[in-house]
Amino acid sequence: MTVSELTAPPKDRSKPSFWYGMPVGYMSLDLDPPAEQFMAMVEQLRALPEPEREAAGRALDLYSGVVQLLRTNRVQECALGMHPDDAGGFTTSVFTVSTLPTPGNAKLVIAGLAGSAAHDKDEELRPLELPSGLGYLAEKLAPAPRSTQQPELNDTLPSNVWQGTVAVAMPSNAELVVLQMVTPDLDSADDYRNILIGIARTLSFTDPDRAKADEQVQEPEAPTGAAAAMRNDFG
């Protein structure tokens, strides 16, 4: 997996509390569009001919509803992925990052969730050792969403989707960071599991800019003279 630069969760850009790497091939939805940007889209819709204006208006309403639903569920990142497959086509997926409040110690909640999910025969679960701490990986086949507005489309939709979830306890409060990957391409589940775990391994609760600055401050000066000669001799 090729990972781009570390990304802070967009919900609180001024004071992010965790960072992660986004792989190539994913496009993030703007979950906090500026009012000016939204009004500009409305003005553009008004300039369209009637048939196009009606269709575009429905799409805008759908986008607005989806954004509101995601924000209500504490989703801080939603990215759409598209990758070429071996058959010359494309596979698709949706990646989300959210936070989940817990009633107490988040690490104990992780252990409790692992114990309860172990009794679910439809969900495979295993612990996951990550640089950011102990987490768990859960995966299952879930029923695919069905369309109520256009039920005739349901015959063309997949019956199931693969859903992978990684949960990690935040060190400073009683919240979990939840990373989730969903794809209708069941044949590519192994690949998307690897992508999900790869993103989870980049999860960090340390500001990368601050860590870099600390390393520069702590880095000793290069030795010279006799000290340099001793380093060369003894490593």
CATH (domain of 197): 3.40.1000
pLDDT score for 9? 55
* HEC secondary structure over 85-152: CCCCCEEEEEEEEEEEECCCCHHHHHHHHHHHHCCCCCEEEEEEEECCEEEEEEEEEEECCCCCCCHH
Higher per-residue pLDDT: 87 or 13: 87
Tell me what the mean pLDDT of segment 198-214 comes to.
81
Q: Please name which of 5, 9, 158, 19 lies closest in space to residue 92, comparing C-alpha atoms.
A: 158
pLDDT tens figures, 101-110: 887 777 776 7
* Any domain includes 53: no
* Any domain includes 227: no
* Any domain includes 120: yes
- Mean pLDDT lowest among 22-36, 169-183, 205-219: 205-219
* Any domain includes 162: yes
Residue 179: strand, helix, or coil = strand
26, 12 in Cβ contact below 8 A?
A: no
Domain housing 81:
19-31+77-217
Ranked by mean pLDDT, which of 49-58, 71-80, 89-98, 192-201 comes out on top? 192-201
Position 219 pLDDT exceeds 60: no
Residue 146 CB neighbour total at 10 angstroms? 10
State how far the Cα of 18 lies from the Cα of 198, in Å rounded to an integer: 16
What is the total residue count of the chain?
235
Strands 26-28 and 133-143: unpaired
pLDDT score for 175? 86
The position carrying tokens 């939204």 is 38
- Per DSSP, 74 falls in state T
Domain tally, the chain: 1
The position carrying tokens 């701490």 is 133
Q: What average pLDDT does the chain have? A: 76
Give pTM, 2 decimals: 0.72
Q: Which two tokens stand for residue 116?
A: 């309860």
Alpha carbon of residue 49 to chain centroid = 38
User: What percent of the chain is modeled with pLDDT above 70?
Assistant: 71
Q: Please name which of 209, 159, 201 lies closest in space to residue 179, comparing C-alpha atoms.
A: 201
* Any domain includes 164: yes
User: What percent of the chain is modeled with pLDDT above 90?
Assistant: 21
State how far the Cα of 186 lies from the Cα of 192, in Å rounded to an integer: 10
Q: Which two tokens stand for residue 28?
A: 């993030």
Higher per-residue pLDDT: 221 or 23: 23
pLDDT score for 8? 54
226 pLDDT tier (thresholds 50, 70, 90): very low
pLDDT tens figures, 77-127: 999 898 888 888 888 899 999 998 887 777 776 766 655 555 555 667 888
The position carrying tokens 């992010």 is 16
List for the chain the helix, strand, coil content (%; round to 5).
Answer: 40, 30, 30
* Any domain includes 111: yes
* Any domain includes 179: yes
Q: Which two tokens stand for residue 151?
A: 């039920």
* Any domain includes 90: yes
